[in-house]
């Protein structure tokens, strides 16, 4: 394995660590993995998650670049004006351009946690060089199954019933706004604005239509909006066929995989997914 620090971008403002396998173990045909910031944390990721993944991928023959978007970690803010999404997109495209121009890769798989997953989705939709994505605690919407998994265990518990009746009485006493605010805060967890489910579904259909592979991994840290493995295919029933989308759910892991055993299990699943996929040529030609 070989790691080197690189800087790139129009103002040489972006910083990352390129991690490559030894030539003897390099796995041909697998796209390079681009690891995105988890929120405001720098490229190392929570509890070194991205570093550990990069080195495990390198041991499996797969290259990666973990880098900081403009203004985060060790990258200076980009000079580009525009919305947050536009600036993020420009930086991710800069990273892919840099690696492609140097002959290091022409296809990519994006890896992101939380806001990193949202950014991975954004870039995957916009650039056909993206052959896949691993999205940790990505988009989610509550389904009937979510409510079933949420309330059913509580209905079997007498103390929960007492609590439920108590809450009903308290809610009746409080102003509607007050109780709504408290309920929202309690349920929020790591929820963030996800936009329209139908729009995301169309974008995912577009990605699968061009042969992209997707691995969605959810943790117990987002039980405010996701609480069982099948929920993804309840949200997007049309995406369950063809094996393009795989879903994993780790209910005992927190949002940042603080516990080593949970982190190791998740990382092993991600590396295994890379190794087991058929990374043949995409259906559409890459963007010129």
Partner 1 sequence: MNPFHFGPPEALRLGVYHPPRVSRARDAAVLLCAPVAVEYQRTHYALRLLAKQLAASGFHVLRFDYLGTGDSAGEVGDGQYPIWVADVALAARELRSLSGAGTLLVGGLRLGALLALEALAAGALSARAAVLWDPVVSGAEYLDSQLSMDRAARAAMGNHAPAGGEILGMRFPPELRTAIRQASLAALIERAALGSAALVVSERRPEFEALARGMRARWPDARELVAAEPTDWRSLDATYDARLTGPVIRLVADALEALA
Length, in residues, of the chain: 288
Contacts to partner 1 from residues 235-254, by CB under 8 A: 252-254
CA distance 156 to 152: 7
Q: Is 5 in the site for partner 1 (CB under 8 A)?
A: yes
What are the start-end ranges of the H helices in 70-114?
A: 84-101
CA distance 142 to 115: 19
Please give the structure tokens belonging to residue 69: 């978007």
Q: Is 191 in the site for partner 1 (CB under 8 A)?
A: no
Short-list 29, 101, 2, CA closest to 274: 29
Q: Could you tell me the smallest distance in angstroms from the CB atom of residue 15 to partner 1?
A: 5
Q: Could you tell me the smallest distance in angstroms from the CB atom of residue 234 to partner 1?
A: 24
Q: Could you tell me the smallest distance in angstroms from the CB atom of residue 189 to partner 1?
A: 12
1 vs 182 by CB, closer to partner 1 = 1
Q: Could you tell me the smallest distance in angstroms from the CB atom of residue 258 to partner 1?
A: 4
Q: What is the CA radius of gyration of the chain?
A: 20
Short-list 11, 30, 113, CA closest to 71: 11
Q: Is 263 in the site for partner 1 (CB under 8 A)?
A: yes
49 vs 120 by CB, closer to partner 1 = 49
Q: Is 256 in the site for partner 1 (CB under 8 A)?
A: yes
What are the start-end ranges of the H helices in 33-114?
A: 49-59, 84-101
Q: Is there a contact between 3 and 19 (Cβ–Cβ < 8 Å)? A: yes
**Bridge partner list, 15:** 7, 68
**Bridge partner list, 35:** 66, 111
CA distance 136 to 110: 11
Q: Is 51 in the site for partner 1 (CB under 8 A)?
A: yes
Q: Is there a contact between 45 and 64 (Cβ–Cβ < 8 Å)? A: no
Please pick, from the candidates 258, 272, 284, 287, the single residue that binds partner 1 as defined by CB under 8 A: 258
Q: Is 88 in the site for partner 1 (CB under 8 A)?
A: no
Stretch that binds partner 1, among 39-47, 95-103, 125-133, 241-249 (CB under 8 A): 39-47
72 vs 87 by CB, closer to partner 1 = 72
Q: Is 42 in the site for partner 1 (CB under 8 A)?
A: yes
17 vs 110 by CB, closer to partner 1 = 17
Q: Is 259 in the site for partner 1 (CB under 8 A)?
A: yes
Q: Could you tell me the smallest distance in angstroms from the CB atom of residue 199 to partner 1?
A: 30
98 vs 213 by CB, closer to partner 1 = 98
Burial class (CB in 10 A: 0-12, 13-18, 19+), 81: exposed
Q: Is 187 in the site for partner 1 (CB under 8 A)?
A: no
Burial class (CB in 10 A: 0-12, 13-18, 19+), 28: exposed
Please pick, from the candidates 31, 73, 132, 211, the single residue that binds partner 1 as defined by CB under 8 A: 73
Contact footprint for partner 1 (CB under 8 A)? 3-5, 7, 15, 17, 40-44, 46-48, 51, 72-74, 76, 220, 252-254, 256-263
């Amino acid at each position: 394995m070989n790691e080197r620090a690189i800087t790139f971008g129009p103002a040489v403002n972006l910083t990352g660590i390129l991690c490559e396998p030894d030539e003897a173990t390099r796995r041909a045909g697998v796209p390079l993995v681009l690891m995105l910031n988890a929120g405001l944390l720098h490229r190392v990721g929570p509890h070194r998650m991205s570093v550990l993944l990069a080195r495990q991928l390198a041991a499996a023959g797969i290259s990666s670049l973990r880098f900081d978007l403009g203004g985060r970690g060790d990258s200076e803010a980009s000079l580009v004006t525009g919305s947050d999404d536009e600036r993020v997109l420009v930086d991710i495209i800069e990273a892919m351009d840099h690696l492609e121009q140097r002959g290091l890769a022409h296809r990519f798989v994006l890896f992101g946690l939380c806001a990193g997953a949202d950014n991975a989705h954004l870039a995957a939709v916009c650039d056909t060089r993206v052959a896949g994505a691993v999205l940790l605690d990505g988009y989610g919407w509550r389904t009937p199954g979510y409510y079933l998994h949420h309330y059913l265990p509580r209905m079997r518990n007498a103390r929960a019933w007492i609590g439920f009746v108590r809450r009903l009485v308290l809610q009746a006493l409080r102003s509607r706004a007050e109780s709504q605010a408290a309920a929202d805060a309690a349920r929020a967890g790591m929820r963030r604005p996800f936009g329209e489910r139908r729009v995301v579904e169309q974008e995912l259909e577009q990605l699968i239509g061009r042969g992209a592979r997707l691995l969605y991994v959810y943790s117990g840290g987002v039980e405010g909006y996701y609480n069982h493995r099948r929920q993804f295919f309840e949200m997007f029933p049309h995406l369950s066929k063809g094996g393009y989308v795989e879903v994993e759910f780790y209910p005992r892991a927190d949002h940042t995989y603080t516990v080593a055993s949970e982190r190791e299990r998740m990382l092993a699943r991600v590396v295994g997914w890379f190794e087991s996929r058929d990374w043949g040529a995409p259906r559409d030609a890459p963007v010129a």
